[in-house]
Structure 1
């Protein structure tokens, strides 16, 4: 049975200096940012036995790192805090929530990068289902960020967070899969800051070089990045990175466990999320799909096919590619698919994305909001 369709997210357009961008972000999404703090406060208490004042105390180390390594992004965070009338540590905590929780949040997510073969335009597809607690859905926003010296960014983001899932005008895009592993290192970049650096980059190699030049990331995470040359799976950790290129069919898939990274991180078993099962399943589905679509299909038809054949799949439910809530889990940590995004990069057209908002990915249009980035 389909769930009630949530209202579509707000679309906010941010421009100017880092501080101006942050101020407008904070002002326009102040209510949503405060709700996010309430959501994560409950999750930290449930998963880590930390109240919000303790979370803010831990955030001081990340505050120092962000201010030192990425001062422009820190200025933007200060603007968000001022615009929302909150402490800078509240905003740092939201942006470092993956690191502070030490991998205890039960994110899901299944991602796909695909360079289409036999396509004269060299089209590259970057797509994922974003699985997370439904309590944050009302706090998500579609953002554009236009700042001097960088490509224009379009992303789906949580209120108060500076980097998430999306792409830029230089045809660089990112998806994210959480990895549950130890250790963390507060002297390195939180993953949401690293995502923002990717979205400010002009190529995949530019993004890799910038992250590495700043010392790497603070926690184990997977970023599926793509530019017009194709996708690349980046398995990142504070102990070292690994990179997975597309297979012989031109695609690479990922879920919530490391495949190639042997840096020595401790990655305990993550029950109930079905990461290995989802990875095996998406590869099985792609093997059946590859060769059937891509050449001659219109954008709308192609994206619909991906949703219906891949991202609406409920095998091994509730821990399926299209995730549904597991009623045996505590309410604070239940996840379900909140949206599906399909990005496209082409040599003959501007980059674009379609976002299907809601859990009924295979349903008819009236059961979903189908949103476009860029928007008119």
Structure 2
């Protein structure tokens, strides 16, 4: 990923979007070019079809989260692009993942579907070296995608989060209530964009602005979903707690840390419980290897009481099984358009309120701290 800028937002939805669009116009244009190409080549959707679907999601957003819709309009104005294009980016998860699922189910040997992925973790205070609660992850995606870190204050709540340029809702981040979020993409046989539920990125926006773990989890569980995703949420304020929510369109299940640690990648741990089949899980097996490797490293660190921010960064640099390792590198055996790599790496110290991010593979890109306050 190119340089990862940090953007301070004013705190009002339209003004936030205007600042985002004005500062990131070129990056947003690059992301649109990347995604329109992906939609056409991998999802088999023309630009017109993609915009039509995005407009339907814009109506959902305006109904369910008007402030998010206002921020999208600010992005469009600031970047000098159409609102339809901004809607395409903000609904890209539902549009793209739904197509990945349906194409894979329809064809015996699907082509051109990349093995995207992320590996996330949680470390409870009772097993960390310093008694702090940690979340973190490597976010693996298309190398050319442009990202940005957004800082925003709304009343007593300050948020710092990574997002893709043009997407209003931060997807990996934390707030001043000691609450943090990391995520994993999931695919299931039930994924269907046409359900037109509250989009993934609106849900992450709600989680990151929540004051309590209960409020955050309700952003996932209180209504059905169009597509599957995994949400790993923790809060250090009060009694520290972690909950992992595997969410299929029609059902959810929760996981808790085991012996103080939790690792998650890009598969359901119990798909039968949720009554779904996982497209790609049989072919794209790196998800199982990454989850197992992360769990083993965390378990060993917990046993030795060596887990803290720096050692967790080292775990995210791990190369066992390269190129499909925790620190992901492009697989030269795949066509170029199917290659993914770690494009951002994050460690969140929820107890101390510290957000560390590396805008690229963490083995080559240093982590920097982005102040929350």
What band does the TM-score fall into relative to the shorter chain? 0.7 to 0.9
* Cα deviations by residue, 1:42-86 (Å, 9 ceiling, x for unpaired): 111221111322211111221111111111111111111111121
Q: State which of 346, 350, 357 in structure 2 corresponds to 1:341.
A: 346
User: Structure 2 vs 1, CA of residues 39 and 60 (structure 1 numbering), >3 Å: closer, same or farther?
Assistant: same
Q: Does 2:35 match 1:40?
A: yes
State the match for 1:374 in structure 2: 371
Give the CA deviation at 1:23. Answer: 1.1
Secondary structure of 2:347's match? Answer: strand
Q: Residues of 1 paired with 2:285 and 2:31: CA distance?
A: 23
After the TM superposition, list the runs of 4 or more consecutive aligned residues in structure 1 that deviate by more than 3 angstroms.
118-122, 210-213
Secondary structure of 2:52's match? Answer: helix
Q: Does 2:11 match 1:9?
A: no
Taking the TM superposition and a 5 Å limit, the aligned residue runs for 1:138-177 are 139-148=146-155, 151-163=157-169, 164-177=171-184
Q: State which of 223, 230, 235 in structure 2 corresponds to 1:222.
A: 230
User: Structure 2 vs 1, CA of residues 251 and 335 (structure 1 numbering), >3 Å: closer, same or farther?
Assistant: same
Contact map agreement 2:261 2:299 (CA 8 A) in 1: no
Q: Does 2:309 match 1:303?
A: yes
State the match for 1:57 in structure 2: 52
Secondary structure of 1:359's match? Answer: coil
State the match for 1:318 in structure 2: 323
Q: State which of 268, 271, 288 in structure 2 corresponds to 1:276.
A: 288
Q: Residues of 2 paired with 1:28 and 1:331: CA distance?
A: 30
Q: Residues of 2 paired with 1:108 and 1:7: CA distance?
A: 19
State the match for 2:104 in structure 1: none
Aligned residues: 351
Give the CA deviation at 1:273. Answer: 5.2
TM-score w.r.t. the length of structure 1 is 0.87
Q: Residues of 2 paired with 1:103 and 1:342: CA distance?
A: 31
User: Structure 2 vs 1, CA of residues 118 and 341 (structure 1 numbering), >3 Å: closer, same or farther?
Assistant: closer
State the match for 2:208 in structure 1: 199
Q: Which runs of 5+ in 1 are unaligned?
A: 1-5, 362-366
Give the CA deviation at 1:234. Answer: 0.9
State the match for 1:364 in structure 2: none
Q: Which runs of 5+ in 2 are unaligned?
A: 101-113
Q: Does 2:116 match 1:107?
A: yes
State the match for 2:335 in structure 1: 330
Secondary structure of 2:27's match? Answer: helix
Contact map agreement 2:309 2:349 (CA 8 A) in 1: no
Give the CA deviation at 1:8. Answer: 3.3
Give the CA deviation at 1:122. Answer: 4.6
